[in-house]
Structure 1
Amino acid sequence: MSDVTALGEILIDFTPQGENEQGFPILVANPGGAPGNVLVALSCLGMRTEFIGCIGKDYFGELLVSTLQNKGVQTNGIVYSPIKTTLAFVHIDHQGDRSFNFYRQPGADMMLSKDDVDLSLIADAKILQVGSISMTNEPSREATLLALNYAKEQNKIISLDPNLRPLLWQSLEEAKEQIEALLYFADIVKVSGEELAFLTNTTDIFSGAKQLYKKFHLRLLFVTVGDKGSYAYGEDGLVFVPAAAVKAIDTTGCGDAFLAGVLYKLLKRDLLDFNIKEAILKQILDFGNAMGAYVATNKGGIPAMPTLHQIEDFIVVNKKEE
């Protein structure tokens, strides 16, 4: 049995690493994609994980499979497509914030069909993790909805990270419509401050979080606001915990690390009944913040995910510096 099974995209992030002698950027191929990032982070923390997705029969596809396996993620749900593995080119600004350009017209991740989904991998999991990128195109949209409906029938906890990437959608209206379709399935949701504003048409965190939580009958909502920290909205309202101050090198995968930290604590402390006191919720946020901060100080998504020992040491060091 796995703790978390994730369905969705896994791809190669080409991230800049300096320049060559002619001044052209040197790009490093880092395994990435939000569902894969979350699973690797959970696996590094000692959780049992399983991935469902589609990759190309090419060098990059093999690199992704071997990376997941080397990190302890089970890959029984991976299928292969003649379409090439999806590539993303990452631009990082002087503050470590990143933006993306995708080579996905089409990409293998879009090719996951409903017949490819091994439902036993969902039946054997405590949590199903999904995002919205698998909803951008068919057949992966149909496969995602099949998995979600099955997870609901099996009374599984469903965790959602919308992971909005506007360039991958025909329009922002379609993006919002499809993300809302996912929200009706979700128990746990993690959004960025920008995604919350996109979904609720307000920049006020309290108002937006309350609106999203109530409208979609969520059990727990997390809102990340970068280096400022994170919020949680539950039965008792809004809770905020500031983030540790670190010098960001690359923010790729920070939100995924945060979510993995949150899911790890919910699983480890047996809190999936969502009966969580405010003090415990703050501890969960604190750990999620630490996971995001750790990853921000390292390059790449999957390669930056810490082990439990590494994140515990990081937390101790940062507590001393406060």
Structure 2
Amino acid sequence: MATVYTIGEALIDFIPDRKGAELKQVESFTKAAGGAPANVACAVAKLGGHAAFIGKLGADAFGDFLVEKLAASGVDVSRVLRTSEANTALAFVSLKEDGDRDFSFYRNPSADMLLHENEIGSGWFTAGDLLHFCSVDLIEAPVKYAHRKAIELARQAGAVISFDPNVRLPLWPDPESCRRAIHEFLPLSHIVKISDEELSFITGHEDEKEAIASLFVGDVQHVIYTRGAAGATWFSRNGLEVSEPGNRVEVADTTGAGDSFIGGVLYQLQSAPQPLKELGQLSREHIGEALRFANAAAALTASRPGAIDALPTLREIDAFRSSTKR
């Protein structure tokens, strides 16, 4: 089986004890493992896929906790480095009544930002592998150039590159810096996953069709547009367009739902009956099944608190889909 590699941040999410309160009003939190790339690796591994996480953590108790959590989920942690130069990143979360959230980050710098390009192994990737990344660690720090090196080596090996911008503006000096970094890395990707909340910010277009079309730059072959409970649409450069409705659930916490979604997509691509050699070979049926599966994974994750702990297994997704069959 091919490997899904993810690169970037793993951090500690402190989840509040109650919804509907501003961060300054929250009195207690529960510690949870998080960070979008780490979540995606765990999502794939918990489904039974082969996943590996590339990143750097502090030589501290939080770093120990994250390594153990990743490994317990089935993720290959042999490419997780440790440092005493900075601490593991922390994120304090406040939850709105609908389960949506706001973040306050503590990373100035954090250990993940100190991953260097010379720490990326030249023999890690092989043809058919998938490399997934997000935008949080595309800030002006060593980790940005580690991303460039990993993407370059993965592409040379024949791997598929997946990008979920996963915009977190509080981590950037200004919105334009974030947008500029996303556009710098967008053309290097084969698959782009983008949410309805991010589309106009990233593209600068208010019209949905124009915005989606503008994402097909460089090597981008597929754009997956997500709308939360409303479902998702998969657009291909060759004109193929496939939409699948979402699943209605009682939302506990949306943290990790988008990561579970793209993890489900990558798992479907990884476990295809035939090795994924050409993205153009994806059929309408294959794409539709990937979206239905990913929508179910995201819905289950949103119905539970936390991120990694909320990610479903393959058996849970199968049971959920059977119970909600239309």
Deviation, 1:124, is: 7.5
Matches within 5 A, 1:253-272: 253-269=256-272, 270=274, 271-272=276-277
Partner Cα distance (2:189, 2:33) in 1: 27
Deviation, 1:146, is: 1.1
Matches within 5 A, 1:78-117: 78-82=80-84, 83-117=86-120
Partner Cα distance (1:208, 1:24) in 2: 38
Partner Cα distance (2:317, 2:206) in 1: 32
Identical aligned residues as a percent: 34
CA offsets, 1:127-160, max 9 Å, x none? Answer: 1111111211311111111111112222211111
Q: Is the 8 A contact 1:133 1:163 kept in 2?
A: yes
Q: Does 1:202 pair with 2:205?
A: yes
Match of 1:166 in 2: 169
Match of 2:278 in 1: 273
Q: Structure 1's 67 and 125: CA in aligned 2 closer, same or farther, altered over 3 A? A: farther
| Secondary structure of the corresponding residue to residue 85 of structure 1 | coil
Partner Cα distance (2:321, 2:27) in 1: 34
| Secondary structure of the corresponding residue to residue 209 of structure 1 | helix
Choose the corresponding residue for 2:292, options 286, 289, 305: 286
Q: Is the 8 A contact 2:134 2:165 kept in 1?
A: yes
Match of 1:39 in 2: 41
Number of residue pairs matched by the alignment: 316
> What RMSD, in angstroms, separates the aligned Cα atoms of the two structures?
1.7
Q: Does 1:298 pair with 2:301?
A: no
Partner Cα distance (1:223, 1:9) in 2: 23
Deviation, 1:206, is: 2.6
| Secondary structure of the corresponding residue to residue 120 of structure 1 | coil
Letter in 1 for 2:105: F
Q: Is the 8 A contact 2:17 2:26 kept in 1?
A: no
Matches within 5 A, 1:177-196: 177-196=180-199
Choose the corresponding residue for 2:319, options 307, 310, 313: 313
Q: Is the 8 A contact 1:258 1:289 kept in 2?
A: yes
Q: Is the 8 A contact 2:129 2:158 kept in 1?
A: no
- More deviation, 9-18/277-286: 277-286
Q: Is the 8 A contact 1:4 1:126 kept in 2?
A: yes
Could you tell me which runs of 5 or more consecutive residues in structure 1 were left unpaired when the two chains were aligned.
none
Deviation, 1:242, is: 1.3
Letter in 2 for 1:84: N
Q: Normalised by the size of structure 1, how large is the TM-score?
A: 0.93
The structure that is strand-richer by fraction is 1
| Secondary structure of the corresponding residue to residue 279 of structure 1 | helix
Q: Structure 1's 163 and 314: CA in aligned 2 closer, same or farther, altered over 3 A? A: same
Match of 1:17 in 2: 17
Runs of 4 or more consecutive aligned structure 1 residues displaced over 6 Å after TM superposition: none
Q: Is the 8 A contact 1:12 1:31 kept in 2?
A: yes
Could you tell me which runs of 5 or more consecutive residues in structure 2 were left unpaired when the two chains were aligned.
20-24
Partner Cα distance (1:56, 1:2) in 2: 29
Partner Cα distance (1:280, 1:260) in 2: 16
CA offsets, 1:6-63, max 9 Å, x none? Answer: 11100000011249xxx85320110000111001010011111111101001110000
Q: Does 1:249 pair with 2:242?
A: no
| Secondary structure of the corresponding residue to residue 216 of structure 1 | coil
Deviation, 1:75, is: 0.7
